[in-house]
Structure 1
Amino acid sequence: MLAGKRILLIVGGGIAAYKSLELIRRLQERGASVTPVLTAAGAEFVTPLSVSALAGQKVYRELFDLTEEAEMGHIQLSRSADLVVVAPATADLMAKMAQGLANDLASTLLLATDTPVLLAPAMNVRMWDHPATRRNVAQLRADGVAFVGPNEGGMACGEFGPGRMAEPLEIVAAIDTALSDGPLTGKRILVTSGPTHEPIDPVRYIANRSSGAQGTAIAAALAALGAHVVFVTGPADVPPPAGVEVVAVESARDMLAAVEAALPADAGVFVAAVADWRVASASDQKLKKSRDGLPVLEFAENPDILKTVSHLTEGRPGLVVGFAAETDNVLEHATAKRLRKGCDWIVANDVSHATGIMGGSENAVTLITGDGAEDWPRMGKAEVADRLAHRIAAALAD
């Protein structure tokens, strides 16, 4: 997919800039050419010589460079690529993009380009979670900018959380998706997956047996058709697929917030097995056994994410797909659920113990739409995902 593709790589300032060197090498292995742009801050972490040596091209650095402007002006530089990639994308660079600022070569290129842009954010967890950054990210997403990462993990500053730049191969997969010409190219699709964990105390929680395998397969299938997939996942047993934007959450309320932040989208596929209830007042200390008897847990109802999105008056995806995991009267219960929730489609399956579907590698589903019900034969979860992805592509093309 990347052979002959031209990538304009903007390297921002941050410790993660060292990964850009590996990214250049991986892109060239796949036949892509890389034109590097190094910000002043980026040059504090990687040298122009090392970037140029790996890319096999000169490094562009200065906006007001008479020679470079005469040979290839920044306007042409910004439009001669098939994709503009910013890795690492710092909070500062994203703020400039969101506000339309252009006071150096990198920000000017980003403002002047009509080429698709992919950002790989990297920053301290508190910077990523700051309201200003969240506003800027939301604006950039609304502007059609694609994201890969950030991932969660330990940081150079010693803190832990979301903010680590995606690994080079993850970025390569996202580039491959961004440049694909599948039937979902240009579409933004939200997928929820996995279980949610509802805390009882710091060491105990309420959950279910969902592995996240089916949601992960669906996200991968949609991305393979060219969609930009925002993958909101609870604590699943399987790793998220490459080439999607991953948002990791724990509880149902966390998931709802992430879903709302990911909108607008062309379609939403709500595969996650969200816990219906939570402990109303989770203890901040471990509950101890007592001679006075068992602890009394009071429950509260969790937000209904599928119903909330289905009934939005503004920002509702054009196609909303829900999932119904049932243990009896599958068709009856799932049909009623579609009407009750207000979604367009329901994918129903029998997860009773005898089927082995919950946590297994296969699935047997019934697709329920306004036109009726369609039984699909038992098949691998990847095959279910591929079939559903193509149905979604056909629906969005109408």
Structure 2
Amino acid sequence: MTALFTDIVGSTASAEEMDPEDVHQRLQPYFERTRQELERYGGTLEKYVGDAVVAVFGAPVAHEDDPERAVRAALAIRDAIHDLNEKDAWLDLSIRIGVNTGEALLVVSSNPSLDLGMAAGDAINTAARIQSAAPVNGVLVGDLTYQATRDAIEYRPAEPIAAKGKSEPVRVWEAVQALEHGGRRRMRDTQLVGRQAELELLLELWHAVGRDRLPGVAVVLGLPGVGKSRLLEEFTNQVGADGAAHWGRCLPYGEGITYWPVMDVMKSAAGILQSDETVAIAAKLGALLESFGIDTLDELRTMATAVSNLLGVATTPRGTYQADQITQAELHWGIRRILELLARERPLAIVLEDLHWAEPTLIELVQYLAHDDAGAPLLVVASGRPETAELAPELMRERAR
């Protein structure tokens, strides 16, 4: 389980100088936004302790990415408080957040409607200690949380902290920002074991796609922790010798997530960085589209409108203009056309992780990409839990063709 503690800095001193009504008015937006972000990422608000908020991830419902959810929620709370201060300087809120992963006991009320529970254990206590040591308006996490999320979150090292009840200093890391999931993955140091047969099947399909210059689709199913991601990392590592690979990941939470993995892929293909501003993103998308050498302005405009809708920026290569509206069919065509053109330069593998979280619209797009009339060496490799077979039966039939 992962625990999250957040508390306001200097709230006691501020409260002494304010009327109770003003204290309530100042704190209410903080409590509301904190709860919203916790619920958005699937956390359970465990209790309030004065101005502090205590939440848990992994109970009563557990997810394989609970540590990542907790850190993303912490960063979202940090940014939300900044936005509140920007809109109303009178609030003048500063916070510290601590996140820690470990064992804990959560007692849930027999009446869920009461929304009562009690969490206790070393993970909870240590999260409180970490929170008290966090920088102002910063997020500090324990070592287990860091180890579980270092591929998804940008961190910088922090000095170990002395925690009450701990014989040794506690290793901590400061979370800076959430990383996007697109692009090439960082290869792990561990050797791939027991998946050679599956790897050979994927490589055989990859070579067939390149040889026949036709699209293909593969779906890797398995329970959490069996090594799906590690298998796909090894596959894309070998693909890089004669082709290109871009990664996308379906998300179970957040707004505008329907095409999130496709957004990852487009950003990776265009070389868009997490730090890029809107102007730079638009320029890189425009450069990508112009590199295809498309002569037909209508075709170029549809592709530009498609990526602009995906990424929320306007790009107008070669004087094209943005269409006011775009249908789902046009959006899917624009996405597929861009991927086809990329694949004609080099055989292309698109890796989509966690397909069990995909919305039906994305499943339809994946099926559309796999149609034989696409005419380009494009291989879509998706991974998911076993229930993906029931969520996407048409895709499974497409895979079996």
Q: TM-score normalized by structure 1?
A: 0.29
- Structure number with the higher helix fraction is 2
Structure with the higher fraction of residues in strand conformation: 1
